[in-house]
Amino acid sequence: MTSLQDRLLAAHARDDRAALVGLYTEAADMAANIDAACFYLTHAYIFALEKGDPASDALYQRLKAEGRV
């Protein structure tokens, strides 16, 4: 199975921002600590914001809960 890192790089390479929302969310969910999670959540949130993806609301709330927005 392709690693998350490879899938992220591939999505970046093809500039697939919709996919990046899900992949960075997945990275956040797998992160070892809250700081790393918030780093990935930030990326997921930004790409969702840019795309107008409804997932941005939930991502924002997750960041807000950690005092990161």
Q: Are 20 and 43 in contact (CB under 8 A)?
A: yes
Calpha distance 19→32 (Å, rounded): 22
Based on the shown chain and the rule CB under 8 A, indicate whether residue 21 belongs to the binding site for other proteins: no
Is 37 a binding residue for other proteins by CB under 8 A? The answer is yes
By the rule CB under 8 A, 53 interacts with other proteins: yes
Q: Which of 35, 57, 58, 61 binds other proteins (CB under 8 A)?
A: 35
The four Cα atoms 66, 49, 26, 31 give a dihedral, to 10 degrees, of: -30
- Summarize as ranges the residues that interact with other proteins (CB under 8 A): 35-39, 41-43, 45-46, 48-53, 56, 63, 68-69
